[in-house]
């Protein structure tokens, strides 16, 4: 029998843990978790824990958009 468990992080559906044989495999729906897609885990809880950690790191590593230049630094284009 195939079992599945949705993975929800901070209220967002990010993937599914699917059990086949003795392992749980992660199916990523969130692009930031694409590297985990197909990865095997011992439990669905382990898949959720790793997905949460990867997503947290991806959010921390996301580049911050630069601030727009201050009006004093804007030069008119001639």
Distance CA(66)–CA(72), nearest Å, equals: 17
Whether the Cβ atoms of residue 44 and residue 5 lie closer than 8 Å to each other: yes
Q: What is the per-residue pLDDT across 5-45, written as a single tens digit (0 to 9) for each?
A: 999 998 899 999 999 888 999 999 999 999 999 999 999 99
The label of the residue with tokens 């495999």 reads 25
Reported as a pLDDT band with limits 50, 70 and 90, residue 69 is low
Whether 63 shows a pLDDT value over 90: the answer reads no
pLDDT for position 20: 87
Whether the Cβ atoms of residue 2 and residue 21 lie closer than 8 Å to each other: no
pLDDT for position 51: 96
Q: What does pTM read for this prediction?
A: 0.73
- The CA-atom distances, in angstroms, between 35 and each of 30, 32, 41, 53, 69 are 10, 8, 14, 13, 36
Per-domain residue ranges of the chain: 3-61
């Amino acid at each position: 029998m195939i079992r599945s468990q949705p993975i929800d992080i901070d209220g967002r559906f990010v993937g599914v843990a699917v059990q086949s044989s003795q392992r749980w495999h992660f199916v990523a729906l969130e692009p930031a978790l694409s590297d985990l897609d197909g990865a095997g885990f011992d439990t669905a809880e382990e898949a959720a824990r790793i997905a949460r950690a990867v997503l947290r790191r991806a959010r921390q590593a996301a580049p911050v958009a630069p601030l727009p230049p201050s009006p004093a630094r804007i030069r008119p284009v001639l």
